[in-house]
Amino acid sequence: MPTRIPAALRRTLLPLLLLFVIGAGALPVRAEILRLPKTDNPALAIEPRPGWTPFYDEYGNLRFTAADRSCALLLSMIPDDKAGGTPDTEVAANIYKAAGAQPYSRVEPGTIAGISGQAFISTMTNDKGVKLEMRVVLVKPDPTHYASVAVMMTSTITPEQTTELEAMAALVRIRGEDEAQAVAKGDAAYAKKDYDLAIANYNEAIRLDANYAEAFCDRGLAQEVKGDTALALADYNAAIQLNPGLARAYKFRGVIQAGKRNYERAIADYSEAIRLSPDYANAYASRGDAYSNQHDYVRAIADYSNAIRLNPDYAAAFANRGTAYSHQGDYERAIADYTEALRLYPDYASVCNRLAWLRATAPGENFRDGPKAVELATKACELTKWKQPAYVDTLAAAAAEAGNFDDAVKWETQYLAGDLTKEAADTARERLALYQQKEPYHQPEKAP
Protein backbone atom coordinates (compact mmCIF):
# COMPACT_ATOMS: atom_id res chain seq x y z
CA MET A 1 0.00 0.00 0.00
CA PRO A 2 1.53 3.35 -0.96
CA THR A 3 2.50 5.75 1.79
CA ARG A 4 -0.02 8.55 2.31
CA ILE A 5 1.71 11.90 2.00
CA PRO A 6 0.05 14.63 4.10
CA ALA A 7 -1.17 17.62 2.11
CA ALA A 8 1.04 19.96 4.12
CA LEU A 9 4.09 18.01 3.00
CA ARG A 10 2.94 17.64 -0.61
CA ARG A 11 2.84 21.42 -0.82
CA THR A 12 6.29 22.03 0.60
CA LEU A 13 8.91 21.59 -2.12
CA LEU A 14 6.86 21.57 -5.32
CA PRO A 15 6.88 25.39 -5.59
CA LEU A 16 10.65 25.41 -5.11
CA LEU A 17 11.11 23.02 -8.02
CA LEU A 18 8.82 25.09 -10.22
CA LEU A 19 11.07 28.11 -9.78
CA PHE A 20 13.63 26.33 -11.94
CA VAL A 21 11.13 25.01 -14.47
CA ILE A 22 8.53 27.67 -15.26
CA GLY A 23 9.70 30.65 -13.22
CA ALA A 24 7.95 32.47 -10.41
CA GLY A 25 4.31 33.12 -11.18
CA ALA A 26 2.95 34.65 -7.97
CA LEU A 27 2.72 38.34 -7.25
CA PRO A 28 5.79 39.73 -5.47
CA VAL A 29 5.53 40.56 -1.78
CA ARG A 30 6.26 44.19 -0.82
CA ALA A 31 7.48 44.05 2.77
CA GLU A 32 10.67 44.43 4.73
CA ILE A 33 9.97 41.70 7.26
CA LEU A 34 8.18 38.64 5.98
CA ARG A 35 6.49 36.10 8.18
CA LEU A 36 5.22 32.53 7.70
CA PRO A 37 2.54 31.87 8.71
CA LYS A 38 1.52 35.51 8.69
CA THR A 39 -0.13 35.38 12.11
CA ASP A 40 0.27 31.98 13.75
CA ASN A 41 2.71 31.02 16.48
CA PRO A 42 5.43 29.89 15.99
CA ALA A 43 6.45 31.52 12.71
CA LEU A 44 9.43 31.75 10.44
CA ALA A 45 10.48 35.33 9.72
CA ILE A 46 13.09 36.88 7.48
CA GLU A 47 14.24 40.37 6.53
CA PRO A 48 15.54 39.61 3.03
CA ARG A 49 18.77 40.76 1.51
CA PRO A 50 18.78 42.93 -1.64
CA GLY A 51 18.23 41.15 -4.93
CA TRP A 52 15.97 38.37 -3.65
CA THR A 53 12.42 38.36 -4.98
CA PRO A 54 9.92 37.15 -2.34
CA PHE A 55 6.62 35.39 -2.98
CA TYR A 56 3.90 33.87 -0.87
CA ASP A 57 2.99 31.01 -3.18
CA GLU A 58 -0.47 29.54 -3.67
CA TYR A 59 0.23 26.92 -1.00
CA GLY A 60 1.14 29.49 1.66
CA ASN A 61 4.89 28.91 1.58
CA LEU A 62 7.30 31.82 1.51
CA ARG A 63 9.85 31.50 -1.27
CA PHE A 64 12.68 33.57 -2.71
CA THR A 65 14.62 33.49 -5.94
CA ALA A 66 18.06 35.03 -6.34
CA ALA A 67 18.30 37.79 -8.93
CA ASP A 68 20.58 35.65 -11.13
CA ARG A 69 18.31 32.58 -10.63
CA SER A 70 21.27 30.48 -9.50
CA CYS A 71 19.49 29.39 -6.33
CA ALA A 72 16.22 29.53 -4.44
CA LEU A 73 15.08 29.43 -0.84
CA LEU A 74 11.76 28.18 0.53
CA LEU A 75 10.39 28.52 4.06
CA SER A 76 7.64 26.21 5.30
CA MET A 77 5.88 25.57 8.59
CA ILE A 78 4.57 21.99 8.72
CA PRO A 79 1.99 21.02 11.35
CA ASP A 80 2.75 17.79 13.22
CA ASP A 81 -0.31 16.50 15.02
CA LYS A 82 0.85 12.88 15.21
CA ALA A 83 0.80 11.46 18.73
CA GLY A 84 4.36 11.34 19.98
CA GLY A 85 5.56 13.39 17.01
CA THR A 86 6.55 12.38 13.50
CA PRO A 87 10.24 11.39 13.12
CA ASP A 88 12.12 14.01 11.14
CA THR A 89 13.44 11.32 8.81
CA GLU A 90 9.85 10.50 7.85
CA VAL A 91 9.03 14.16 7.32
CA ALA A 92 12.10 14.61 5.13
CA ALA A 93 11.33 11.47 3.11
CA ASN A 94 7.78 12.69 2.50
CA ILE A 95 9.05 16.13 1.44
CA TYR A 96 11.35 14.62 -1.16
CA LYS A 97 8.65 12.24 -2.35
CA ALA A 98 6.10 15.05 -2.63
CA ALA A 99 8.57 17.05 -4.73
CA GLY A 100 9.19 14.11 -7.04
CA ALA A 101 12.86 14.26 -6.09
CA GLN A 102 15.31 11.46 -5.52
CA PRO A 103 15.52 10.34 -1.89
CA TYR A 104 18.02 12.24 0.21
CA SER A 105 21.47 10.72 0.04
CA ARG A 106 23.05 12.00 3.21
CA VAL A 107 22.14 13.54 6.55
CA GLU A 108 24.15 15.98 8.61
CA PRO A 109 23.50 18.36 11.51
CA GLY A 110 21.60 21.52 10.61
CA THR A 111 20.21 24.54 12.43
CA ILE A 112 17.58 27.21 11.90
CA ALA A 113 17.89 30.35 14.03
CA GLY A 114 20.02 28.50 16.56
CA ILE A 115 17.61 25.55 16.93
CA SER A 116 19.37 22.29 16.19
CA GLY A 117 17.95 19.76 13.79
CA GLN A 118 19.04 17.79 10.76
CA ALA A 119 19.84 18.65 7.15
CA PHE A 120 18.83 16.25 4.40
CA ILE A 121 20.81 16.56 1.14
CA SER A 122 20.14 15.20 -2.31
CA THR A 123 21.06 15.84 -5.93
CA MET A 124 18.63 15.67 -8.81
CA THR A 125 17.98 16.75 -12.39
CA ASN A 126 14.83 18.66 -13.27
CA ASP A 127 12.81 18.16 -16.45
CA LYS A 128 14.89 20.83 -18.19
CA GLY A 129 18.03 18.76 -17.68
CA VAL A 130 19.42 21.14 -15.06
CA LYS A 131 21.36 19.44 -12.27
CA LEU A 132 20.36 20.68 -8.85
CA GLU A 133 21.44 20.16 -5.28
CA MET A 134 18.70 20.25 -2.69
CA ARG A 135 19.17 20.73 1.05
CA VAL A 136 16.26 20.59 3.49
CA VAL A 137 16.86 21.60 7.12
CA LEU A 138 14.21 20.50 9.61
CA VAL A 139 13.86 21.63 13.22
CA LYS A 140 11.02 21.53 15.76
CA PRO A 141 10.41 24.95 17.31
CA ASP A 142 7.59 23.41 19.36
CA PRO A 143 6.10 19.91 19.76
CA THR A 144 3.42 20.44 17.10
CA HIS A 145 5.35 22.06 14.24
CA TYR A 146 8.28 21.44 11.97
CA ALA A 147 10.10 24.43 10.54
CA SER A 148 11.67 23.76 7.17
CA VAL A 149 14.21 25.83 5.27
CA ALA A 150 14.90 24.32 1.86
CA VAL A 151 17.55 25.56 -0.53
CA MET A 152 18.11 24.49 -4.10
CA MET A 153 21.05 25.48 -6.24
CA THR A 154 22.30 24.73 -9.71
CA SER A 155 25.46 22.70 -10.20
CA THR A 156 27.14 25.75 -11.77
CA ILE A 157 26.68 27.99 -8.74
CA THR A 158 29.79 30.06 -8.01
CA PRO A 159 31.47 30.48 -4.61
CA GLU A 160 30.21 34.08 -4.50
CA GLN A 161 26.64 32.95 -5.21
CA THR A 162 26.95 30.25 -2.56
CA THR A 163 28.11 32.85 -0.04
CA GLU A 164 25.10 35.02 -0.88
CA LEU A 165 22.73 32.06 -0.46
CA GLU A 166 24.26 31.19 2.90
CA ALA A 167 23.98 34.81 4.03
CA MET A 168 20.32 34.87 3.04
CA ALA A 169 19.55 31.58 4.80
CA ALA A 170 21.30 32.83 7.94
CA LEU A 171 18.74 35.64 8.23
CA VAL A 172 15.87 33.23 8.88
CA ARG A 173 14.49 33.61 12.38
CA ILE A 174 11.87 31.71 14.34
CA ARG A 175 9.62 34.25 15.94
CA GLY A 176 7.25 33.19 18.64
CA GLU A 177 4.10 34.86 19.82
CA ASP A 178 5.89 36.73 22.61
CA GLU A 179 8.29 38.76 20.47
CA ALA A 180 5.68 39.28 17.75
CA GLN A 181 3.22 40.58 20.33
CA ALA A 182 5.91 42.82 21.85
CA VAL A 183 6.54 44.49 18.49
CA ALA A 184 2.81 44.81 17.83
CA LYS A 185 2.34 46.45 21.22
CA GLY A 186 5.26 48.75 20.50
CA ASP A 187 3.75 49.76 17.19
CA ALA A 188 0.38 50.43 18.84
CA ALA A 189 1.99 52.57 21.54
CA TYR A 190 4.00 54.48 18.92
CA ALA A 191 0.81 55.20 16.97
CA LYS A 192 -0.65 56.69 20.17
CA LYS A 193 2.54 58.76 20.68
CA ASP A 194 3.33 56.90 23.90
CA TYR A 195 6.98 56.58 22.98
CA ASP A 196 8.20 55.37 26.38
CA LEU A 197 5.78 52.45 26.26
CA ALA A 198 6.72 51.77 22.65
CA ILE A 199 10.41 51.62 23.59
CA ALA A 200 9.66 49.30 26.51
CA ASN A 201 7.90 46.88 24.17
CA TYR A 202 10.64 47.02 21.56
CA ASN A 203 13.13 46.34 24.38
CA GLU A 204 11.19 43.20 25.22
CA ALA A 205 11.21 42.05 21.60
CA ILE A 206 14.97 42.55 21.46
CA ARG A 207 15.41 40.68 24.74
CA LEU A 208 13.56 37.73 23.24
CA ASP A 209 15.43 37.92 19.93
CA ALA A 210 18.71 39.82 19.98
CA ASN A 211 18.90 39.61 16.17
CA TYR A 212 15.54 41.29 15.56
CA ALA A 213 16.73 44.03 13.19
CA GLU A 214 13.31 45.56 12.67
CA ALA A 215 12.76 45.91 16.43
CA PHE A 216 16.05 47.83 16.68
CA CYS A 217 14.91 50.04 13.80
CA ASP A 218 11.50 50.68 15.36
CA ARG A 219 13.06 51.46 18.73
CA GLY A 220 15.44 53.87 17.04
CA LEU A 221 12.54 55.73 15.48
CA ALA A 222 10.83 56.08 18.86
CA GLN A 223 14.10 57.29 20.41
CA GLU A 224 14.49 59.81 17.59
CA VAL A 225 10.99 61.22 18.05
CA LYS A 226 11.79 61.65 21.75
CA GLY A 227 14.84 63.68 20.76
CA ASP A 228 17.52 61.16 21.77
CA THR A 229 19.36 61.02 18.47
CA ALA A 230 22.43 59.30 19.95
CA LEU A 231 20.40 56.26 21.03
CA ALA A 232 18.44 56.34 17.77
CA LEU A 233 21.64 56.35 15.73
CA ALA A 234 22.98 53.39 17.73
CA ASP A 235 19.78 51.45 17.05
CA TYR A 236 19.86 52.19 13.32
CA ASN A 237 23.49 51.09 13.19
CA ALA A 238 22.58 47.86 14.98
CA ALA A 239 19.67 47.22 12.61
CA ILE A 240 21.92 47.71 9.58
CA GLN A 241 24.58 45.42 11.02
CA LEU A 242 21.99 42.70 11.62
CA ASN A 243 20.34 43.16 8.24
CA PRO A 244 22.28 45.19 5.66
CA GLY A 245 19.25 44.95 3.38
CA LEU A 246 16.84 46.86 5.66
CA ALA A 247 16.25 49.93 3.51
CA ARG A 248 14.37 52.04 6.01
CA ALA A 249 17.16 51.78 8.59
CA TYR A 250 19.44 53.60 6.14
CA LYS A 251 16.74 56.17 5.44
CA PHE A 252 16.18 56.88 9.14
CA ARG A 253 19.92 57.07 9.80
CA GLY A 254 20.18 59.52 6.92
CA VAL A 255 17.62 61.78 8.60
CA ILE A 256 19.80 61.93 11.71
CA GLN A 257 22.89 62.71 9.63
CA ALA A 258 20.98 65.47 7.83
CA GLY A 259 19.92 66.89 11.19
CA LYS A 260 23.62 67.16 12.05
CA ARG A 261 24.23 68.83 8.68
CA ASN A 262 26.32 65.86 7.59
CA TYR A 263 24.66 66.05 4.18
CA GLU A 264 27.14 63.85 2.33
CA ARG A 265 26.61 61.03 4.84
CA ALA A 266 22.87 61.57 4.67
CA ILE A 267 22.91 61.39 0.88
CA ALA A 268 24.96 58.19 1.03
CA ASP A 269 22.40 56.59 3.36
CA TYR A 270 19.42 57.78 1.29
CA SER A 271 21.11 56.48 -1.85
CA GLU A 272 21.62 53.05 -0.28
CA ALA A 273 17.98 52.97 0.81
CA ILE A 274 16.95 53.76 -2.78
CA ARG A 275 19.28 51.09 -4.16
CA LEU A 276 17.74 48.53 -1.84
CA SER A 277 14.18 49.73 -2.42
CA PRO A 278 13.87 51.60 -5.74
CA ASP A 279 10.23 52.51 -5.04
CA TYR A 280 11.03 54.22 -1.72
CA ALA A 281 9.41 57.63 -2.30
CA ASN A 282 10.32 58.98 1.14
CA ALA A 283 14.00 58.22 0.57
CA TYR A 284 13.95 60.16 -2.71
CA ALA A 285 12.25 63.10 -1.00
CA SER A 286 14.72 63.08 1.90
CA ARG A 287 17.67 62.95 -0.47
CA GLY A 288 16.09 65.87 -2.32
CA ASP A 289 16.04 67.79 0.97
CA ALA A 290 19.73 67.07 1.49
CA TYR A 291 20.59 68.25 -2.02
CA SER A 292 18.51 71.40 -1.43
CA ASN A 293 20.48 72.10 1.72
CA GLN A 294 23.62 71.88 -0.40
CA HIS A 295 22.00 74.29 -2.92
CA ASP A 296 22.11 71.57 -5.57
CA TYR A 297 18.63 72.31 -6.84
CA VAL A 298 18.93 70.37 -10.07
CA ARG A 299 19.47 67.09 -8.23
CA ALA A 300 16.93 68.07 -5.60
CA ILE A 301 14.24 68.64 -8.22
CA ALA A 302 15.05 65.30 -9.87
CA ASP A 303 14.62 63.50 -6.53
CA TYR A 304 11.39 65.30 -5.64
CA SER A 305 10.08 64.44 -9.10
CA ASN A 306 10.85 60.76 -8.52
CA ALA A 307 9.09 60.90 -5.15
CA ILE A 308 6.03 62.42 -6.84
CA ARG A 309 6.15 59.83 -9.61
CA LEU A 310 6.06 57.09 -6.99
CA ASN A 311 3.47 58.86 -4.81
CA PRO A 312 1.40 61.45 -6.73
CA ASP A 313 -0.27 62.55 -3.46
CA TYR A 314 3.02 63.44 -1.77
CA ALA A 315 2.28 67.01 -0.67
CA ALA A 316 5.68 67.62 0.95
CA ALA A 317 7.49 66.59 -2.23
CA PHE A 318 5.45 69.10 -4.25
CA ALA A 319 6.10 71.78 -1.61
CA ASN A 320 9.84 71.25 -1.48
CA ARG A 321 10.17 70.95 -5.24
CA GLY A 322 8.35 74.28 -5.40
CA THR A 323 10.94 75.80 -3.09
CA ALA A 324 13.76 74.43 -5.24
CA TYR A 325 12.13 75.94 -8.34
CA SER A 326 11.80 79.24 -6.48
CA HIS A 327 15.52 79.22 -5.66
CA GLN A 328 16.17 78.74 -9.38
CA GLY A 329 13.92 81.68 -10.21
CA ASP A 330 11.34 79.45 -11.91
CA TYR A 331 8.40 81.07 -10.15
CA GLU A 332 5.75 79.71 -12.49
CA ARG A 333 6.62 76.12 -11.60
CA ALA A 334 7.08 77.05 -7.95
CA ILE A 335 3.57 78.49 -7.78
CA ALA A 336 2.16 75.42 -9.54
CA ASP A 337 3.84 73.06 -7.05
CA TYR A 338 2.81 75.08 -4.00
CA THR A 339 -0.76 75.20 -5.31
CA GLU A 340 -0.81 71.42 -5.80
CA ALA A 341 0.61 70.85 -2.32
CA LEU A 342 -2.21 72.95 -0.86
CA ARG A 343 -4.79 71.12 -2.93
CA LEU A 344 -3.54 67.88 -1.38
CA TYR A 345 -3.20 69.35 2.11
CA PRO A 346 -5.14 72.64 2.49
CA ASP A 347 -3.90 73.31 6.05
CA TYR A 348 -0.20 73.04 5.16
CA ALA A 349 0.89 76.14 7.08
CA SER A 350 4.46 76.37 5.82
CA VAL A 351 3.30 76.13 2.21
CA CYS A 352 0.66 78.81 2.79
CA ASN A 353 3.54 80.97 4.01
CA ARG A 354 5.88 80.11 1.13
CA LEU A 355 3.25 80.77 -1.52
CA ALA A 356 2.20 83.99 0.24
CA TRP A 357 5.81 85.21 0.25
CA LEU A 358 6.14 84.44 -3.45
CA ARG A 359 2.82 86.09 -4.31
CA ALA A 360 3.89 89.17 -2.34
CA THR A 361 7.56 89.56 -3.28
CA ALA A 362 8.29 87.76 -6.59
CA PRO A 363 10.41 89.89 -8.95
CA GLY A 364 7.96 89.53 -11.84
CA GLU A 365 4.73 91.48 -11.56
CA ASN A 366 2.76 88.70 -13.26
CA PHE A 367 3.54 86.37 -10.33
CA ARG A 368 2.41 88.78 -7.61
CA ASP A 369 -1.10 88.92 -6.15
CA GLY A 370 -1.38 91.08 -3.02
CA PRO A 371 -4.88 90.11 -1.84
CA LYS A 372 -4.14 86.39 -2.37
CA ALA A 373 -0.86 86.81 -0.50
CA VAL A 374 -2.70 88.40 2.45
CA GLU A 375 -5.23 85.56 2.47
CA LEU A 376 -2.51 82.88 2.47
CA ALA A 377 -0.27 84.61 5.03
CA THR A 378 -3.19 85.20 7.39
CA LYS A 379 -4.13 81.53 7.13
CA ALA A 380 -0.54 80.49 7.89
CA CYS A 381 -0.53 82.67 11.00
CA GLU A 382 -3.91 81.38 12.15
CA LEU A 383 -2.93 77.74 11.61
CA THR A 384 0.11 78.27 13.84
CA LYS A 385 -1.78 80.45 16.35
CA TRP A 386 0.45 83.42 15.48
CA LYS A 387 3.49 81.72 17.02
CA GLN A 388 5.68 81.75 13.89
CA PRO A 389 7.39 85.16 13.63
CA ALA A 390 8.48 84.51 10.02
CA TYR A 391 4.83 84.15 9.00
CA VAL A 392 4.08 87.59 10.49
CA ASP A 393 6.95 88.98 8.40
CA THR A 394 5.33 87.43 5.32
CA LEU A 395 1.97 88.95 6.26
CA ALA A 396 3.63 92.38 6.40
CA ALA A 397 5.06 91.93 2.89
CA ALA A 398 1.65 90.70 1.65
CA ALA A 399 -0.14 93.71 3.16
CA ALA A 400 2.33 96.06 1.49
CA GLU A 401 1.83 94.38 -1.90
CA ALA A 402 -1.93 94.76 -1.41
CA GLY A 403 -1.44 98.50 -0.66
CA ASN A 404 -2.29 98.20 3.05
CA PHE A 405 0.85 99.95 4.29
CA ASP A 406 -0.45 100.70 7.78
CA ASP A 407 -0.97 96.97 8.30
CA ALA A 408 2.42 96.28 6.76
CA VAL A 409 4.12 98.63 9.25
CA LYS A 410 2.17 97.07 12.14
CA TRP A 411 3.10 93.50 11.26
CA GLU A 412 6.74 94.29 10.48
CA THR A 413 7.08 96.16 13.77
CA GLN A 414 5.63 93.13 15.57
CA TYR A 415 8.10 90.89 13.74
CA LEU A 416 11.02 93.12 14.78
CA ALA A 417 9.96 92.88 18.43
CA GLY A 418 10.82 89.19 18.37
CA ASP A 419 14.12 87.45 19.10
CA LEU A 420 15.89 87.87 15.75
CA THR A 421 19.46 87.44 14.61
CA LYS A 422 21.28 90.64 13.71
CA GLU A 423 21.09 89.80 10.01
CA ALA A 424 17.35 89.11 10.16
CA ALA A 425 16.72 92.30 12.13
CA ASP A 426 18.76 94.42 9.71
CA THR A 427 16.86 93.18 6.63
CA ALA A 428 13.53 93.54 8.46
CA ARG A 429 14.34 97.19 9.24
CA GLU A 430 15.07 97.73 5.55
CA ARG A 431 11.64 96.34 4.65
CA LEU A 432 10.00 98.42 7.39
CA ALA A 433 11.55 101.56 5.93
CA LEU A 434 10.03 100.70 2.55
CA TYR A 435 6.58 100.18 4.06
CA GLN A 436 6.83 103.47 5.94
CA GLN A 437 7.54 105.09 2.55
CA LYS A 438 4.48 103.25 1.15
CA GLU A 439 6.56 100.98 -1.05
CA PRO A 440 6.29 97.17 -1.18
CA TYR A 441 9.27 94.88 -0.92
CA HIS A 442 10.18 92.79 -3.98
CA GLN A 443 12.94 90.22 -4.26
CA PRO A 444 15.78 91.01 -6.64
CA GLU A 445 15.94 89.11 -9.91
CA LYS A 446 17.78 85.77 -9.70
CA ALA A 447 21.19 85.75 -11.37
CA PRO A 448 21.15 83.53 -14.49
**Ordered DSSP codes for 69-80:** SSEEEEEEEEE-
Of the candidates 17, 20, 3, 15, the one whose C-alpha atom is nearest the C-alpha of residue 94 is: 3
Q: What are residue 315's phi and psi, to 5 degrees?
A: -60, -40
Q: What pLDDT is attached to residue 40?
A: 53
pTM over 0.75: no
Assess whether the region 176-241 and the region 347-448 belong to the same CATH fold. yes
pLDDT band of residue 385 (cuts 50, 70, 90) is: very high
- Say what percent of the chain tops pLDDT 70: 87
CB atoms within 10 A of CB 302: 17
Provide the pLDDT confidence category of residue 113 given band limits of 50, 70 and 90.
confident
Q: What is the total residue count of the chain?
A: 448
8 Å CB contact between 342 and 351:
yes
Domain 176-241: CATH class, spelled out: mainly alpha
Task: State the chain's mean pLDDT as an integer.
Answer: 85
Lowest average pLDDT, out of 16-20, 47-51, 110-114, 406-410, goes to 16-20
106-112 and 115-125 as β-strands: parallel, antiparallel, unpaired? Answer: antiparallel
Crossing angle of the two packed helices 349-361 and 331-344, in degrees rounded to 10: 150
Q: Is the pLDDT of residue 245 over 60?
A: yes
On the question of pLDDT at 59 being above 80, the answer is no
Strand ranges, E, within 143-212: 145-154, 173-175
Q: Where are the domains of the chain?
A: 7-175, 176-241, 347-448
CATH homologous superfamily for the domain 7-175: Mog1/PsbP, alpha/beta/alpha sandwich (3.40.1000.10)
**144 against 191, higher pLDDT:** 191
* pLDDT reported for residue 389: 96
Residue 36's identity, in one-letter code, is L
Residues of the chain with pLDDT > 90, as a percent, come to: 53
Higher pLDDT, 219 or 59: 219
Q: What is the pLDDT of residue 254?
A: 98
Least confident of 163-172, 174-183, 281-290, 314-323: 174-183
Report residue 13's pLDDT band, with 50, 70 and 90 as the boundaries: very low
What kind of fold does domain 347-448 have according to CATH? Answer: 1.25.40
The predicted structure's pLDDT at residue 155: 80
Tabulate helix, strand, coil % of the chain (nearest 5). Answer: 55, 15, 30
Q: How far apart are CA 309 and CA 291, in angstroms?
A: 18
Range in 53-57, 363-367, 380-384, 423-427 with the lowest mean pLDDT: 53-57
Query: Looking at residue 8, what is its pLDDT?
Result: 42
User: Biggest alpha carbon distance in the chain?
Assistant: 105
The DSSP H or E segment spanning 220 is: helix 213-226
pLDDT of 323 strictly over 70: yes
Q: Which one has a higher pLDDT value, 341 or 77?
A: 341
Q: State how far the alpha carbon of 67 is from the alpha carbons of 23, 71, 161, 228, in Å.
A: 12, 9, 10, 39
Indicate the pLDDT class of residue 6, thresholds 50, 70 and 90.
Answer: very low
Please give the residue that has the higher pLDDT: either 101 or 104. Answer: 104
